[in-house]
Structure 1
Amino acid sequence: MSIITIHPFYSDAVIDDILAQTEKPLSQQQQNIQKHYHYKDLVGLLSWNNANSQCFNSTDSSLSVTTHAVLDDDFNRLKYLIRSVLWPINHYIRRQMWMNILTLNRVRSSKQPRHVRQSSQATLTSTIVIIDNDFSSLSSNHNQLPNFVDTTNLCFYHLNEPTGHSLLQRILFTFALHHPDVTYCPTLQPFSALLLHYHTEYEVLYLINRLLVKNWLCGVTRLQWEAHCNVFMKLVRLYYKSAADIIDLRFANMKSFYQEWFWWIFRYLPFTYLTKIMDCFFLEGPKILFRISLALVHLYTKRIKDKSNKNPSDIADFCQHIPVSIDHLLRIAFDIRNFKRRTIDQLIENEEKLLRSTHQQPSNDNAKESSNSISHGIISDRQPQLVTSQHLTQIPNKSILDHKQFLTLWNWLPVRFSIAQPSLVFTTEEHGFRLQTLLDKIDEIEYSILIIKATNGEIFGAFCAGLWSDRHKRAYFGFGETFLFTLVPKQIKYSWVGQQHDDSNRQNQAKREMFLYVNNEKLVIGGGNGDGLCIDQSLCEGLTTHCDTFNNEPLCSQSYFSISVLEMIAFDFSES
């Protein structure tokens, strides 16, 4: 039986000294695989593209990428496996693994039988992954990089010159061309450089786009990046208070210290540590990076706390010569208890809100007019669209919305939903006009879109963020991502006013958090001095008025309207 050898690195882009490491024995890795023998099915899952050399050797800018669905139980097993096994940097599996885990679709175990595993083919169009030939004349001058790059912290690792550096430069410029809304994103340059060690430039561009739609780039503006840095400082105080006290005592500029948290990993840790951290990051997201940096602070402060020197050694030097192994570092990171993604997301959201409130407001009349338009929900036609027609490929045939209207809605949604396809779960044309039937269909759905076509032809509705079964627990429920909208005759989005107001008056705050309400007689979205959108139990009649939650105008030209069609859209991530 012949054995096919697959080169672990993208040899065009990396220097020879890292290629020489492929000759090193893999005995430790083999021991790890034997130790985790019961997970051999997942090892196969991580390398399913192994046999498909077209994906990894193609020089065409149009790639065919296989995506798989994985149930919750298998996802947790996969997480344990990736955390536990220390594949060497030159192991063939990593070339497939990073692509595969970034294209996995997680499916709730309760939704499908345990034995089911879905797969689909998604062709990447040239508008997303093509490398523009206009960039081929750019020099390798490090100053010639997009504005979103932090040029004081450039990371090239083992990329060669000029080919590797030039490819990285072209990837970043192509990404900037397609995403002008990304104004500051320090993570993109090191992420792209790391990926280029194992993937072609076309695959790298596809994968960093995946990170963007997953919202895993630690922000795409200076404000969002600053929010992540401030949240890390709060996490240190929350989980390692003694370490925070030492930092307060030893460092005059604490903020500057904490702002380097990301670079402790990506600029200073050894490359062998970094590849293992990225194995976990590509499956679990930015929470992994916070865990690792917290572990580094913990180890570093233990090292300096007993030293009398008032000028402690640099944490960068500590990371470069880290005294513990990668598996020891990971154990410390994963031993942090009650470290939940929802908690981190909430901290980041609150920090961004605080930073916006403290930043100077625009002073010229045009800026004020633009700000007022946004606060009243008007979406400019010139706003960059993150979701294009190539993203939305499965529009429900029976929906009252056309493809263009779905695109408008998808560009209003939180960015993490842009990789999903719309799924029609209820329509009065098929399921009848009864509120209880609608609620039975959506009871276990957490995010959905209510769309109404009135008898006068106007179309409007709401993005509903909140588990519908929570109606049994309290009167008003839901989250601040909920918004109202109109599509016909005008396209207007009315966001939650809590994103613009910071009111300490508890009565006003309560009125502004009336997102979703359901009883036996009606369904209401938005409250406080009126119902933003109210549907009666027959699903035939409705009411729309101004409400404090969204500060909206009535969604229909007739406050009391009759319903022609009502439908509910959910989100299908299995084809993303």
Structure 2
Amino acid sequence: MHLIPREVVERKLLETGSQPKTFARMCLIPVSHPIRKQLWPRLINLRFGTSLATSQLEQPAQIVHYSFAVLGYLEVRLLLLFPLSLCMVTQPDGTDASVGAPTPCPSSHHSSDTPSSLTGYELADRRLQPTYWLNARGRATLLSLMHEVSLSRPELVYAPQAWAVLALLLHFHPAAEALACLLALLDQPDLLVQSKADWRAVCLAMEHLGAAGFAGSRAIGILRHHQAAFQSPGSPNRKGEPETVTTPDNQKRTLTTSTATTTTTTTDDEVLALDPNPRYQLATWAVAVWLLPFECIVPLFDCFLVEGPKVLYRAGLLLWRLASKSEKPGSNCDLANHLIKAATTSAVTSDSRIFLRKIYNIRRFSKTHIQVALSKVVKMLPSNAGLELVDCLVVPCVLPGQRTYTAFGQVKAELAAKGRSSLRPRGSPAHNSVGRGPLLPSSLISADEFSFLIAGIADETLVQAYLPTLIFSSSTDGVSLNTLFQRCADHAETSGRPETILLVRTASGHGLVGAFCSQVWQAGNEFSYYGNGHTFLFRLRPGPPRLWKWCMDGAHGTDRFQRATARFLEVGGGLDAGPAGLRLETGLEMAQSGPSPTFNSECLIAPEDREMQSDLGEGKVYCHFRVSLVEVLGFKSAAF
């Protein structure tokens, strides 16, 4: 065994000039090497001038081991200069490993045929959600951090690569450190895709790179054959004059370019369906490169941090070459599936050394070629008038019109992950947390219960673009109805949203009822009602959860939504001037509930919590009950 100080390895890898590029390409640091606990943050700091904190290696002497017994000739020659361990392993955990990365488990790290079930975030693409070797705890942390990104970067529209990058980071770094690294990468221009237009351009640029000769004559020839077969005679899809390009070996080639068309899809099944257009099937390369085996994607990401997106295009070109071997000119185009299969099951991608050697054997490939290809796509895309938010290239986890928090509610483990520790980065001057509170600030309501309430709100803008915030709690603000009114008024003035959710817990702690209120609470006279038909009553506990919406029958007394004086507040006028659907007294310690014609509701309180009960006939009752806690939730923009 030979020893070399870790500082030597870092200097060889992190110093400026061309040497880091060569080292990153050829050294192939094992995924289980302990230096990976610091490698990516240090690379980010060096290449982009950030100040990310890094975890400390736990080897006291900070020494790296290597053995010549398992090395080939080329590796021995390299490691004479840059020795690294090729045999150090750790126990599989998936998150916050103390040294190095987890040992891979013998199961598939993703599914190429079905979308991940871990959906619910606006920035992610439902086709691109690999979790690699993250365990259940790691996946829960990944989901939570993705939502943290959407909160701290409200200007982001679409960042499909962020999911995969964050999943990789979580294999080697604690949650806060991984989040800080991702935010630092998102701050760099032209590094990670951050809009739908940019994602479309990246996906479609591969065709132009192939037309320039970098994918090989077979790949581009089969693509052109499929395109010709796809277009019916006389179709206007193919436009423009033949284009002459120069290949890397200085040979002239005449190609016919075509104008892209957009297939608009709206449903979950349709949006994930395979598009028959060969151009859009080729665009799957941008997804496939992130679905490489873990032992292959990790060293590729090393090169990405050193060289930028060009290395991803190289990988895409190689996958296209591999996929074209399975394509035949006379067969139907199945390029998308062949690209995924090439990434996940090919013998080339199963060996990172072979894979990297082949992508760097693509000669004379430069950033200029990428810029030219992107510019051609940008010129082509405006011909699609009225480009849709969702198409075969852009497949967000949360589709337009889908309720964000309804989708968010599918993620059962997130709150447990958030409650385990703080997930925000600390100590980085450029990437400190924006200081937002928990996603659900209430101490009374769970994520599932909140999702149930959000699903009942009719205002799409409110549920799509606003976050809950606690504006009053009797445990901290006191049991004053006047204070509750003042807190609601102040919040409505600053946020511009008058809507609130009133939560009332019974004295036993087993009952939880309340109302969604459409207008800001304010004390008036006892004969004045306000609010609108968006108001509703609900009971969350004891279950099953239930809500009562406006009955809209037009009869007298069915439009009494909210009423308040200095002595009480009410939601839902009562039956025959009786007790309201829900009424809170001035001290916030006693309350009433009875049937309300406005919502066609029953008494909200279970029998065991009723202090006093009166029978109104026909099975209808009203009651008095004691209150242990009152909370009012408001809504604020995610940008604040």
TM bracket (short chain): 0.3 to 0.5
Give the TM-score, by structure 1 length.
0.43
Answer 1 or 2: which has greater helix percent: 1
- Is the radius of gyration larger for structure 1 or structure 2? 2
